Amino acid sequence: MKYSAPKGFQDILPPEISVWQRIEAAARSVFVKYGFHEIRLPIIEATDIFVRSIGEITDIVEKEMYTFRDKGDRSVTLRPEGTAGAVRCFVEHGLHNLPSPQKFYYAGPMFRYERPQKGRFRQFYQIGVEAFGAAQPALDAEIIAMLNDFLKSIGLLNLNFELNSIGCDVCRPVYKEALQLFFRDKISGFCPDCNRRYNTNILRILDCKVERCVELRGGAPAVSGHLCEHCRIHFDELTGLLETLDVPFSLNANLVRGLDYYTKTTFEVTSEHLGAQKAVAAGGRYDKLVKEFGGPDTPAIGFAIGMERLATLLQTVVPPEKAAPKVFVATLGKQADTEGLRITKSLRNNGLWVEPSYGGASLKSQLRKADRIGAEYAVILGENELSSGKAQWKNLKEGTQGEVALTELQAFFAKA
Ligand code: ATP
Ligand code: MG
């Protein structure tokens, strides 16, 4: 029987994992400066949480969710994104009682039953952030600046920040009417999905990737011309603040995003080097969602970064690092094997990565292994060395060698 990972699921191995770890470490160190704290959320939630928040007429809820009944006959879903669970958590724990804004981040796997292809998996990882309790554009600006800082800190400079506002309960209905009017005579030429969207979620026609739909929707009214005064001021203040904070961005009137819960600000970070799946991170405001989940009226904003796509990009800038031990301890004979383990442990206590031989092999094959795993030094310990109290050392990179007293090993490698 030969097993393989399920379709659309993948293993992340060394050395590629080093890129992931670099991304995660950078995210933590940037986010903490902005006052974001980590939360860990369940990977499954009640299905209703996603249906209510993401929206019934969305790709995710219609086609992509891993939904099943558990043994208690409850409908549960492997989370397709993090915001819904974070909002559920915020409301459940009454976090609105703490000083606002409350700022959180999380990292972990998400699950969507999509057609696997480059940059699109059925299990993929996101780092997400959510900030609750401030309606001011200053929070939007900070969160976008934080994303920009983070991307810069890992060495990714040439990314596009696209920005839009999709309005609120006041102005969006008016805009939708304008869209309906514009598409009325043309809709039969659009794809079947867009035909459905015409009646159920017309904004999403602007997001369709089908070439013919992209062509046909040229000249559609832009949301910017339909924002109410409140949304217009919010957006203008935001763009002004982004300029002050030196965050480069471009406006994209078609940026409506695939989830229903967004209000006002939406944004996306894309790269030209990723092919069709070019969005690396995406987010927006969701001022209505906390209330919809039974909490008090609490404005909020967040974004999510797609780890696989980010790792793909980062690998072209900084190659994965193949980690290697400082010292390989080669031993010959039972007594030396034991002494070798003791030496290994004491060098590790000094902060070094040290590999013992685990015994049994010839010196030649032990040294070959030391070389293959990229060890910088080998220490050789046999019966003669034990009785003289000295070990031989070899610098495998430089080809130098010598002797060192066993009692001096710590000091020797502290300097080496
Ligand atoms: P797309 O337009 O690529 O389908 P989306 O709008 O469905 O993206 P979001 O829900 O906004 O994506 O998720 C945020 C980020 O998560 C995306 O920008 C992307 O980097 C990543 N992402 C989303 N779906 C997948 C997937 N199936 N595989 C890998 N990464 C994904
Ligand atoms: Mg998608």
**For the segment 282-299, what is each residue's pLDDT rounded down to a tens digit?**
999 999 999 999 999 999
Name the β-bridge partners of 279: 270
In whole angstroms, what is the distance from residue 25 CA to residue 127 CA?
11
- The rounded Å distance from CA 259 to ligand 2 centre is 9
Q: Atom of ligand 1 at shortest distance to CA of 310? A: 20
Are the C-beta atoms of 163 and 225 separated by less than 8 Å? no
In whole angstroms, what is the distance from residue 144 CA to residue 284 CA?
10
Ligand nearest to the CA of residue 257, numbered in listed order:
1
What is the residue whose two structure tokens read 């869209």?
179
Using CB distances shorter than 6 Å, the residues near ligand 1 are 81, 112, 114, 119-121, 124, 126, 258, 277, 279-282, 304, 306, 308-309
In whole angstroms, what is the distance from residue 264 CA to residue 114 CA?
28
Identify the three-state secondary structure at position 291.
helix
- pLDDT of 318 reads 87
Ligand 1 pocket test: pick from 126, 204, 256, 270 the residue with the most ligand atoms within 8 Å of its Cβ.
126
Of the chain, the percentage scoring pLDDT greater than 90 comes to 89
Average pLDDT, the chain: 95
DSSP state letters, 150-184: HHHHTT----EEEEEE---TTTHHHHHHHHHHHHT
Give the pair of three-digit tokens for residue 46.
């009640």
- Residue of the nearest CA to atom 26 in ligand 1? 120
The per-residue pLDDT for range 16-29, each reduced to its tens digit, is 999 999 999 999 99
Identify the three-state secondary structure at position 409.
helix
The per-residue pLDDT for range 232-278, each reduced to its tens digit, is 999 999 999 999 999 999 999 989 887 778 999 999 999 988 888 89
Q: Which domains, from first to last, does the chain contain? A: 16-171+227-317 (3.30.930.10), 174-219 (no CATH), 327-415 (3.40.50.800)
Q: Atom of ligand 1 at shortest distance to CA of 126? A: 16
Ligand nearest to the CA of residue 209, numbered in listed order:
1
Name the β-bridge partners of 367: none
Q: Atom of ligand 1 at shortest distance to CA of 279? A: 18
Where b means 16+ CB within 10 Å and e means fewer, 172-189 reads: beebbebbeebbeebbee
Q: What are phi and psi of 246, to 5 degrees?
A: 60, 40
Q: Atom of ligand 1 at shortest distance to CA of 306? A: 20
- Residue of the nearest CA to atom 21 in ligand 1? 306
- The rounded Å distance from CA 80 to ligand 1 centre is 10
Ligand nearest to the CA of residue 304, numbered in listed order:
1
Ligand nearest to the CA of residue 282, numbered in listed order:
1
